[in-house]
């Protein structure tokens, strides 16, 4: 081949490669996502799902052990996100630096007979340490808190960030998406409507009776369900986590459905950051919807995180009663988190 032809062929090849790359990235801004606890039951499938997300350009997988293997494995998938594994506290800073979204599924899961609050003693300290690092290395990131008890770990994170002077209430989220995922699935099954079309807001918190699904606002609406059906659906949604803990019989709690839910919520955060309009998900955030300082309700996600915290809308009498009943427990879980952060 003539040298000039060779030159133009290689130029064309380079141009095409560039075009392929920007097409693969969808012309979106570069986004770095970090997963803390990435080698765990939730962390691994969540890493897989985030690697498949075209909005992610860099995926940082951090854990106290096991991440080199997970990262090597996930990195072979031919999607655009560049994957790196980080292990041990000395690599935490590098794992976090430049992150747009940090997802935290680090900590111990429940065994049968335990409540989420029984995890507090171990997980509170883990979350506090990780949030201290976030405030240092990526203070502007959106934080998606999965570690339980969410009703306390989110207030702990807020206090850590306040102490560091980096708190922005628009950027801290308790991930309650799994409650919504369950409510949708159970409602669709009972009302016999297509599950992919179902929407159900779930408000309150993320433990037992603090989980309040609003089936009166479920769409598509149905008159096929009686009050007893709604009561049973509510209870099943509230006990969804325990249902999985018992079925796993000592081998942990929900991991696959949680990874799915975590990926849905992180994707919504990324879309909001990228300026996609009308991105709405339920989340446990700083709130004035009730007298409690944190509360889960529908939230619009935007370029700076929370754009709007939505009110509760019209509630049925059953839901109004559920709302009053949950406030005591939610209040004390929030206070427990705040107290821990101040004392430690």
Ligand X SMILES: O=C([O-])CC(=O)C(=O)O
Ligand Y SMILES: NC(=O)C1=CN([C@@H]2O[C@H](COP(=O)(O)OP(=O)(O)OC[C@H]3O[C@@H](n4cnc5c(N)ncnc54)[C@H](O)[C@@H]3O)[C@@H](O)[C@H]2O)C=CC1
Residues forming the active site: 206
Contact positions with ligand Y (CB under 6 A) in 155-194: 175, 178
The first and second tokens of residue 140, run together, are 């502007």
The first and second tokens of residue 88, run together, are 């041990």
Q: Supply the minimum distance, in Å, between the C-beta of residue 130 and ligand X.
A: 18
Contact positions with ligand X (CB under 6 A) in 214-253: 240-242, 244-245, 253
Binds 245: which of ligand X, ligand Y, none (CB < 5-8 Å by kind):
ligand X
Considering only 5, 65, 226, 249, the residue that binds ligand Y (CB under 6 A) is 65
Closest by CA to 34, choosing from 203, 219, 269, is: 269
User: Does residue 311 sit in helix, strand or coil?
Assistant: coil
Considering only 253, 283, 290, 297, the residue that binds ligand Y (CB under 6 A) is 253
Residue pair 319/214 in contact (Cβ under 8 Å)? The answer is yes
CA distance 51 to 59: 7
- 178 lies in the site for ligand X, by CB under 6 A: yes
Pick the stretch among 8-16, 108-116, 266-274, 306-314 that binds ligand X (CB under 6 A): 108-116
CA distance 331 to 315: 21
Residue pair 104/146 in contact (Cβ under 8 Å)? The answer is yes
Q: Supply the minimum distance, in Å, between the C-beta of residue 240 and ligand Y.
A: 9
- 254 lies in the site for ligand X, by CB under 6 A: yes
Residue pair 126/156 in contact (Cβ under 8 Å)? The answer is no
User: Does residue 303 sit in helix, strand or coil?
Assistant: coil
Residue pair 269/101 in contact (Cβ under 8 Å)? The answer is yes
The answer on whether 26 is annotated among ligand-binding residues is: no
In whole angstroms, how large is the CA radius of gyration of the chain?
A: 21
Considering only 47, 56, 102, 106, the residue that binds ligand Y (CB under 6 A) is 106
Binding site for ligand Y (CB under 6 A): 36-37, 39-43, 63-65, 105-110, 119, 123, 126, 129-130, 146-148, 150, 175, 178, 206, 252-255, 258
- Annotated binding-site ranges: 37-43, 63, 110, 116, 123, 146-148, 182, 258
- Annotated binding-site ranges for NAD(+): 37-43, 63, 123, 146-148, 258
């Amino acid at each position: 081949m003539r040298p000039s032809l060779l030159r133009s062929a290689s130029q064309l090849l380079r141009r095409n490669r560039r075009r392929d790359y920007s097409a693969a990235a969808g012309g979106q801004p570069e986004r770095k996502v970090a997963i803390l606890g990435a080698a765990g039951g939730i962390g691994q499938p969540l890493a897989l799902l985030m690697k498949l997300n075209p909005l992610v350009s860099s995926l940082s997988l951090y854990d106290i052990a096991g991440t080199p293997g997970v990262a090597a494995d996930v990195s072979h998938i031919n999607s655009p996100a560049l994957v790196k594994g980080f292990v041990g506290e000395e690599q935490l800073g590098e794992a976090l630096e430049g992150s747009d979204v940090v997802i935290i599924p680090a900590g111990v899961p429940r065994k049968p007979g335990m409540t989420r609050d029984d995890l507090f003693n171990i997980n509170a300290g883990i979350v506090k340490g990780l949030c201290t690092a976030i405030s240092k290395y990526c203070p502007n990131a959106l934080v998606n808190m999965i570690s339980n008890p969410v009703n306390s770990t989110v207030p702990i994170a807020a206090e850590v960030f306040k102490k560091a002077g980096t708190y922005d209430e628009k950027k801290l989220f308790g991930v309650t998406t799994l409650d919504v995922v369950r409510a949708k699935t159970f409602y669709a099954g009972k009302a016999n409507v297509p599950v992919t079309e179902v929407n159900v807001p779930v408000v309150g918190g993320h433990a037992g009776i603090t989980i309040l699904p609003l089936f009166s606002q479920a769409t598509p609406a149905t008159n096929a369900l009686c009050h007893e059906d709604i009561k049973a659906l509510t209870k099943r949604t509230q006990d969804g986590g325990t249902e999985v803990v018992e079925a796993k019989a000592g081998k942990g709690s929900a991991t696959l459905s949680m990874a799915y839910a975590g990926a849905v919520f992180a994707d919504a955060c990324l879309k909001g950051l990228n300026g996609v309009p009308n991105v709405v998900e339920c989340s446990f955030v700083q709130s004035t919807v009730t007298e409690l300082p944190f509360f889960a309700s529908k939230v619009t996600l935007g370029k700076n995180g929370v754009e709007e915290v939505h009110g509760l809308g019209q509630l049925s009498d059953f839901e109004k009663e559920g709302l009053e009943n949950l406030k005591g427990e939610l209040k004390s879980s929030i206070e427990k988190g705040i107290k821990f952060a101040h004392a430690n």
